[in-house]
Amino acid sequence: MSEQTTVPVKLGDRSYDILIGAGLIERAGQEIAGRTGAGRVAIVTDENVAALHLQRLADSLKAGGIESTPVLVAPGEKSKGFATLETVTNAILAARLERGDIVIAFGGGVIGDLAGFAASIARRGMGFVQIPTSLLAQVDSSVGGKTGINTAHGKNLVGAFYQPQLVLADTDVLDTLSPREFRAGYAEVAKYGLIDRPDFFAWLETNWQGIFTGGPERTRAIAVSCQSKADVVARDERETGDRALLNLGHTFGHALETATHYDSARLVHGEGVAIGMVLAHQFSVRMNLASADDAARVEAHLRQVGLPVSIGDIPGALPPAEALMEYIAQDKKVTRGALTFILTRGIGRSFIARDVPPSAVLSFLQEKHPK
């Protein structure tokens, strides 16, 4: 039999399990019926995932006695907006689902965020199950209950904290993901090692190939990642403190995403995070917090798996360091002249630094990104 791992997310009466393993789509009907008792579901998915995997999921649900209505949206970040939210929410209502019925998010992080938000507002809260299909969604966005959409004022500025009742991470479904999207998700896997699991990072350095090829290492890496995120979320569900550690690499990363106008041909989120994590380690070296050896190890590993690791790795022209600094300041809001940053004392020793002088960040960026 295929290996399957369960990661429990402990959030009081909102607790739930993440099941991780091969062939879970085929067992989805049985797991959902057994654990939720639902008789009807809406499957929110995007056209890419639908073409590759929807039929198998619908068949599995049917075999479990569950009637399903598919709700398709266009792939890509543009679907995470008010217009699609309205369409999806109306489609859920049109399917005549009741409060106890279930909305399934079947796709990457875009679908998880969008469908989860729709599930939270339709009838003031329907049942919700995540079946994440991208590596990023399996190790990051499907865990923790943040759902939402983007607006003209910024990404993820509108949404709800809404926990699913169950997460099914089918490790086989990742085989159809493009290598580039897989690598982007891998950046978030490595992040958990860099935050506070040095042994996991060391294990990744040795075992990363099994993750990419779909060996048992894949299940293990996803399970450790989910456990890491679940631990942080259990400590700080609504992001008032510790949860900020999950932003390691994201401050620089977001600035680079802004600088490339979220053009996925040039940079996808996980790539920005990879570069951002390398920069965060290098900046920590500059601040005399971490050793240059540790920063070099991070850079070497991420480069080895095929991720970009420096600003120069991004194709096309970029605005100057001063502009990147501007994006960072907008993103983080400078509080009384100081920035809050995730810095590190070495691999697996990240911390929240609340007093980073913007001038130090700027001169670091000027050096890393000379005009």
Active site positions, annotated: 124, 146, 188, 229, 239, 243, 247, 250, 254, 269
Known binding residue 312? Answer is: no
Closest residue to ligand NAD: CB criterion: 109
57 contacts 28 by C-beta, under 8 angstroms: yes
Q: Let me know: does 147 contact 162? Beta carbons within 8 Å.
A: yes
Minimal distance in Å, beta carbon 124 to a second copy? 5
Q: Are 41 and 104 in contact (CB under 8 A)?
A: yes
What distances in angstroms separate CA 194 from CA 146, 301, 342, one per listed residue?
22, 12, 11
> Is 188 annotated as contributing to ligand binding?
yes
CB atoms within 10 A of CB 206: 9
Q: Is 155 annotated as a binding residue?
A: yes
Based on CB atoms, which residue is closest to a second copy, 13 or 265? 13
Burial class (CB in 10 A: 0-12, 13-18, 19+), 26: middle
Instruction: Report d(CA 292, CA 229) in Å as an integer.
Output: 27
125 labelled as ligand-binding? no
80 touches which of a second copy, ligand NAD, none (CB within 5 to 8 A by kind)? ligand NAD
Instruction: Show the binding pattern over residues 115-144: x = contacts a second copy (CB under 8 A), - = does not.
Output: --x--xxxxxx-------------------
8 Å CB contact between 226 and 139: yes
Residue 126, both tokens: 């329907």
DSSP character string of 257-275: HHHTTT-TTT--HHHHHHH
Contacts of 66 (CB under 8 A, 6+ apart): 29, 32, 33, 38, 39, 40, 41
User: Which of ligand NAD, a second copy, none binds 265 (CB below 5-8 Å, type-dependent)?
Assistant: none
Shortest spacing between CB 146 and ligand NAD, in angstroms: 4
Binding residues for ligand NAD (CB under 6 A) = 46, 48-49, 52, 75-77, 80, 107-111, 113, 133-134, 136-137, 140-141, 144, 146, 155-156, 173-174, 176-177, 181, 269
- Minimum Å distance from CB 48 to ligand NAD? 3
- Cα 71 versus chain centre, distance: 22
Find which of a second copy, ligand NAD, none residue 336 binds, CB within 5 to 8 Å per kind.
none
Which of the residues 236 through 275 are near a second copy (CB under 8 A)? 238
| Residue 76 DSSP SS3 | coil
| Among ligand NAD, a second copy, none, residue 20 binds (CB under 5-8 Å by kind) | none
74: left (phi over 0), alpha (psi -120 to 50) or beta: beta
Query: For residues 121 and 318, which CB has a smaller minimum distance to a second copy in the complex?
Result: 121
193 contact, one of a second copy, ligand NAD, none, CB 5-8 Å limit per kind: none
Q: Classify 340 as helix, strand or coil.
A: strand
Binding residue (CB under 8 A) for a second copy from 34, 51, 78, 86: 86
* Nearest-approach distance from CB 301 to a second copy, in angstroms: 33
Which residues, numbered 45-84, are part of the site for a second copy (CB under 8 A)? 82
For tokens 């960026």, the residue is 365
Which listed residue (108, 109, 132, 148) binds a second copy by CB under 8 A? 148
Distances (CA, A) of 316 to 72, 263, 311, 319: 34, 11, 11, 10
Distance of closest approach, residue 230 Cβ to a second copy, in angstroms: 19
What residue spans of 148-291 are helical by DSSP H? 179-196, 198-213, 216-235, 250-259, 269-286
Using the rule CB under 8 A, is 334 a contact of a second copy?
no
Annotated binding residues for NAD(+), written as ranges, equal 109-113, 133-134, 146, 155
Binding-site sequence positions: 109-113, 133-134, 146, 155, 188, 250, 269
What are the residues binding a second copy (CB under 8 A)?
A: 82, 85-86, 89-90, 93-94, 117, 120-125, 146, 148, 151-154, 157-161, 238
